[in-house]
Amino acid sequence: MKSFLLAAIVAIAAPAFAADEKAPVAAADKLNTVCPMEGKAADGKTVVEVGDKKVKVAVCCKDCAAAVAKAKADDVVAAAKANKAIEKAK
């Protein structure tokens, strides 16, 4: 009986987790359409949670996702809300 319940739970939950990994972020969930690191179009599939509030920020690629992790969270969120790239110091 226990194995049946476990199998049923796995069968129900597995598609939900698989869908999260492959599906693009819904437009309503996405904060921005421009990558805050490069200024290119965000792909909608690569999303990083930024800062203590775990704000979702879409980026254009995995390299930018890594760069967001190293950048100042406030700057990334501000750029994402403005839908533009972070202004780099000259």
pLDDT at 74: 94
pLDDT per position as a tens digit, 10-43: 455 444 443 334 455 555 555 799 999 999 999 8
| Number of DSSP helices (H) and strands (E) in the chain, helices first | 3, 2
- Rounded to whole angstroms, the Cα distance separating 19 from 42 reads 20
- Rounded to whole angstroms, the Cα distance separating 61 from 45 reads 9
Q: Which of 59, 55, 22, 25 is nearest to 42 (CA)?
A: 59
Among all chains, which residue has been given the structure tokens 């194995």? 3
pLDDT per position as a tens digit, 59-83: 999 999 999 989 999 999 999 999 9
